Structure 1
Amino acid sequence: MEIISFLAAPFVMCLILVGIHCYLGLHVLKRGVIFVDLSLAQVASLGSTVALLFHLDHHSSLNYFISLGFTFVAAGYFAWAKKYEKYISQEVLIALVYAFASSAVLLVVNMMAHGAEHIKEILVGKILWVTWMDVLKTGVIYSIVALIHYIFRKQIIAASMEKSDSSSFWDFVFFSLFGVVITSSVGIAGILLVFSFLVVPALLSSNLVSSLKGQLLLGWVIGTILSFIGMTLSYVLDLPAGAIIVVVFTVLPIFVLPFILRKKIAT
């Protein structure tokens, strides 16, 4: 009972994160912008770090909205760049934004007394220490994002799937909603774990199932199982939850994908 009570809120938070990130991950894979998550996450972290520099509490509303403002700027830039992807790859611009934000975070952190601890939290988050109030707030935010995705699903899916004539407006809507999710997630789970939630379930399910609905359902199952394994190992072995969950998520595709791809080629 002790392990259940201790891990209940973190595990439910993992399920919420897997739920929204797996869906967004399928969009990201279709768009071919795999590292946009890392880039936006780093931009969100830059906004949070700048807010801390001005002595704003890390978990305050003002800190969150400053971080969100930074991600909206990056989202607008990526949406604008989509119009010119025939001339320059979006991945190149995403990498440039990531490099800029990462270096800027290091420069800002250098001015802070407890910069090393902040860098660690940016990378692996604090998933093991979330409260039920954190779960509730995150669930509400993601439910609103999911509702908007559902209402405008035809337009948003078309913007991701049809690479030729996608509207800049719907690209901006997608990246902005993506930025809202990332800003909320990074403060909880850290950059590396958010990236794992986004990419791994979507990558595995998209190589096993053809339909979007099937990919989403299978991705949720994969994410749930891996989250449970990671949480359990963290508790039993007394290891940092964020780091061990990332290892569990990433080690699976590293060893399993070669077999999946070999079977696809053979058929």
Structure 2
Amino acid sequence: MTGFQLMIPPFVACMVLVAMLSYLGLHVIAREVIFVDLSLAQMAALGGLSALLIHVEADSTWAYALALLATAVGALLFALTRTSHREAQRVPQEAFIGIVYVVASAAAVLIANKVPGGGEAIEKTLTGSILWVNFKPTILKLAVVYAALGAFHYALRHRFLTISFHPEEAERQGWKLRWWDFLFYLSFGV
């Protein structure tokens, strides 16, 4: 296998990622929640490590479900800490995002200390390995999930774009911003 052939799967994975992540990045910048991705990823890692704590196999469906549940908790926290543009914002939402990140990181370290192989699990989670992805099942699953997320965001684009770029208009129309924020952060965390 040549070096070029070795790099085809990682390149395809990057192309699948770039379309959705660049779109979500526009929302993140508009909402001024720059580190929300790190915080949600840390919540997912905490959920995955929690699965190991209760003796669930690392790459099982239950482990992924616990990681998604932890991500949903993070999304809920971020949706609830949103402040209205009319309210005086004492603490920026980015501060809450940082607090969630630090608490989730500390909890992950504590759990990793109690789980056999926990240190290796944290290292695997933190380092990733895009160079060693393959078409089946990794890139195929990634493409299916991102296509579903893309369809979800396309169907709800008017709401998400208005809330991100014109939140005062969404407030004026009486939209339930916390609900829409929860959906946004949950889809972002997936």
Same fold (TM over 0.5): yes
Counterpart in the other structure of 1:230: none
Separation (CA, whole Å) in 1 of partners of 2:64 and 2:10 = 21
Alignment of 1:1-267 (within 5 A): 2-83=2-83, 86-132=89-135, 133-164=137-168, 165=171, 167-180=177-190
Q: What is the CA-CA distance between 1:113 and the residue it aligns to?
A: 2.6
Q: Does 1 or 2 have the higher relative contact order (CA < 8 Å, sep 6+)? A: 2
Whose helix fraction is larger, Structure 1's or Structure 2's? 1
Say if 1:47 and 1:66, in contact at 8 Å, map to a contact too.
Answer: yes
Separation (CA, whole Å) in 1 of partners of 2:115 and 2:26 = 38
Say if 2:49 and 2:118, in contact at 8 Å, map to a contact too.
Answer: no
Separation (CA, whole Å) in 1 of partners of 2:61 and 2:5 = 28
Separation (CA, whole Å) in 2 of partners of 1:2 and 1:107 = 43
Provide the TM-score with structure 2 as the length reference. Answer: 0.88
Separation (CA, whole Å) in 2 of partners of 1:128 and 1:58 = 21
Say if 2:79 and 2:182, in contact at 8 Å, map to a contact too.
Answer: yes
1:149-170 CA distance string (max 9 Å, x none) = 1111111111111233262221
RMSD over aligned Cα atoms: 1.6
4+ aligned runs moved over 6 Å, structure 1: none
Separation (CA, whole Å) in 2 of partners of 1:71 and 1:51 = 13
1:73-103 CA distance string (max 9 Å, x none) = 1111111111357232101110110010000
SS at match of 1:104: helix
Separation (CA, whole Å) in 1 of partners of 2:54 and 2:11 = 33
Separation (CA, whole Å) in 2 of partners of 1:168 and 1:142 = 24
Number of matched pairs: 180
Name stretches of at least 5 consecutive residues in structure 2 with no aligned partner: none
SS at match of 2:58: coil
Say if 1:83 and 1:168, in contact at 8 Å, map to a contact too.
Answer: no
Percent pairwise identity: 41
